[in-house]
Amino acid sequence: MQEDLVSTAVIFHRHLNAKLWRKGVLKPIVRYTLLKIAKNFVTYIGIDQLHLQDITLSGSNAGYTYSRNSDIDLHLVVDIPEDKKILLKQLFDAKKNQYNFQHSIQIKGIDVELYVQDSQQPHTSAGIYSVLDDRWLKIPETIEDTVDRAAVKEKYKQFVGKVRVALRSDDLDSVKEVLDSIKRLRQHGLSTGGELSAENIAFKVLRAKGHIEKLRNHISNIEAERLSLEQQYEN
């Protein structure tokens, strides 16, 4: 039987994930734990005036398309001064990648992925929940399966090929470009076709099958090797 790639990343439900939600509200112990994780991440970032506006939960686990591979997208929503946007976004991305790589955090078996989100940047998600205020900012709705499986398969195979080439390369810039191209794939899909776009689903399949984690690990290994003292330079 041919594998249904879509089902590895998206399953269509009629109820929110019972591990996290009760009667449409985030379970108190889950909310408390997410706030504790967010506080730890703020400390890790190490900026005195972070201008934190909200802490939100979004993505599949804030809607009805979660699967066993779906993580918890926890966003720190911050005001980023216009004259410091480029510098701070680079810092936040680096800190986010380091933190997610160094910390394997789960809530009831679900991975927690941390992000820093510019408050001025539009965020596309079926549902968005304010963990800080304990209320929905965008209430999700149940949706029907309209995914173009052929398009998902085509895009998935295309990017798996790129990942395989990147994992055999020691060129840090080219490996990072593959990871960035996967991120752009998702953003393009979300902005043009929404949660069920072939691009977004292909991204989710790549993540569910471990390809994105392999890329991140490979990047970390290349960076570590570059920073290490090589034998030929020893006295």
Tell me the backbone φ, ψ of residue 170, rounded to 5 degrees.
Answer: -105, 10
Res 55 pLDDT > 60: yes
Asked whether residue 232 carries a pLDDT value surpassing 70, the answer given is: no
CA pair distance 75, 20, nearest whole angstrom: 16
Average confidence (pLDDT) over 26-52? 92
| Sole residue written with tokens 């090589």 | 230
Which phi and psi angles does 130 have, rounded to 5°? -80, 110
Q: What is the 3-state secondary structure (H, E, C) of 1-34?
A: CCCCHHHHCCCCCCCCCCCCEECCEECHHHHHHH
Angle ∠(33,109,106) on CA atoms, nearest 5: 40
> Which pair of tokens denotes residue 150?
């052929």
Contact present, 112 and 72 (Cβ < 8 Å): yes
Residue appearing with tokens 């939960």? 57
Q: What is the pLDDT of residue 234?
A: 53
Q: Which two tokens stand for residue 201?
A: 């689903």
- What share of the chain in percent tops pLDDT 70? 96
What's the pLDDT at 2? 55
Q: Does 170 score more than 50 pLDDT?
A: yes
Q: Is the pLDDT of residue 70 over 80?
A: yes
Q: What confidence tier does 54 reach under pLDDT thresholds 50, 70, 90?
A: very high
pLDDT, position 82:
84
Please tell me the distance from the alpha carbon of residue 59 to that of residue 70, in angstroms, as a whole number. Answer: 8
Average pLDDT over the chain reads: 90
Q: Which residue in 126, 143, 147 sits closest to 14, CA to CA?
A: 143
Say how far apart CA 63 and CA 42 lie, in whole Å: 26
Kindly give the pairing relationship between strand 128-130 and strand 110-118: unpaired
Q: Give just the sign of the alpha carbon dihedral 132, 133, 139, 142.
A: positive
| H helix count then E strand count, the chain | 6, 8
Q: Is the pLDDT of residue 27 over 60?
A: yes
Q: For position 101, what pLDDT does the model report?
A: 77
Average pLDDT for 68-82: 91
Give per-residue pLDDT as tens, 148-167. 999 999 999 999 999 999 99
Single-letter code of the amino acid located at 42: V
171 to 161, 175, 226: CA distances (angstroms): 17, 6, 11
pLDDT of 230 reads 55
| Count of residues making up the chain | 235
pLDDT in tens, 101-138: 788 899 999 999 999 999 888 887 889 999 999 999 99
Q: Tokens in use for 134?
A: 């304990």
pLDDT score of 1 more than 50: no
pLDDT digits (tens, 9 = 90+) for 178-207: 999 999 999 899 889 888 899 999 999 999
